[in-house]
Structure 1
């Protein structure tokens, strides 16, 4: 079976490969999310994940397409990091969705997103004076002092996607 991953970002690719293991063939596909560069709600972040999964499965001619999208969600308690995943199959099943860990962003970072219209990756580079955080530990890794990095965060999301696929498959067989 072939799994198309709707990104070439190593944190997301590694999460998918850790969950699904060595029995699959993987194709990393640089597809567009179809949403703004910085998704600013759960709804927009979910749509980006679904769009990536659908585009990846189609472009790669794969059995499964997986889209993973990071965004932010405004709440009464502040601006929170959010992340969502979607899994689709070539058989046109309804997209499977799963969301992950949340953490409130410091106001210095949230302000750059809200007022300066920066993407989180750009804001994190300014905030930390480091480069390529999105391809390494991510904001979650910085703000949890390395206790949870971006790959581990998306790993949990992909586990939820695979678990739901397994459940659907088992239910269909019975």
Structure 2
């Protein structure tokens, strides 16, 4: 009697489907990279167009977080058969030092668990801040001032202003990993 080899006994893992509430390739790629760093499962990551239901350029933590939550929930409503839904929303805020930029990440799963995290923040130059205060979305302000096209789908303000030292993919990736903490530690969350 022969026994099957040990490798044949391993269960084949199913692919989990993650829906990102955006078609922005940077957001999709950072989600894919973050999930693969955190879990051994196999993932398919897809982006879909959904609304944030907040201003095109959210201002403040509350509106930006709400935009990320709305994107995750709208993605879940549009594609309920997925395993995870994710929303990423970039925002700005002002304090006595000037205007700063950041993003919120929200992750939902089928069990209604939620993970949230915020990227690091950085201050924008006054020339960009003025364009945003004048009603321009940050990505369009970057494109206008730096003579770029669709920078929010590539390096974004963070990549432009750091000369690529911090690219937009890794900027989002860290926040996505932090938003996944409740899912990586399910027994205590």
Query: Which of the five TM-score ranges fits, normalised by the shorter chain?
Result: over 0.9
Q: 1:20 aligns to what?
A: 35
Give the deviation of 1:12 after TM superposition.
0.6
2:149 is aligned with 1:131: yes
Give 1:82's aligned residue.
102
Contact 1:3 1:24 in 2 (8 A): yes
What is the match of residue 140 of structure 2? Answer: 122
User: Counterpart of 2:187?
Assistant: 170
Q: Is the 8 A contact 2:31 2:45 kept in 1?
A: no
TM-score by length of 1: 0.92
User: Root-mean-square deviation (CA), in Å?
Assistant: 1.3
Q: Deviations over 1:60-102 (max 9, x none)?
A: 1212111001110111110001111001112223x32100121
How much does 1:27 deviate? 2.5
Comparing 44-53 with 25-34, greater Cα deviation is found at: 25-34
Aligned to 1:56: 75
| Contact 1:66 1:85 survives alignment (8 Å) | yes
For 1:92, the equivalent position in structure 2 comes to 112
Q: Choose which of 151, 157, 173 in structure 1 pairs with 2:175.
A: 157
Any gaps of 5 or more consecutive residues in structure 2?
1-15
Aligned length: 169
How far apart are the structure 2 equivalents of 1:144 and 1:27? 29
- 1:37 is matched with which residue? 56
TM-score (norm. length: structure 2):
0.85
What do residues 8-67 of structure 1 show as CA deviations (whole Å, max 9, x unaligned)? 101110100001127012221111001000001111110000001111122112121110
Task: Decide which of 60, 63, 86 is 1:66's aligned counterpart.
Answer: 86
| TM superposition outliers: structure 1 runs of 4+ over 4 Å | none
Partner SS state of residue 72, structure 2 = helix
Q: Which runs of 5+ in 1 are unaligned?
A: none
Per-residue deviation, 1:147 = 0.5
User: In structure 1, what is the Cα distance between the partners aligned to 2:111 and 2:187?
Assistant: 16
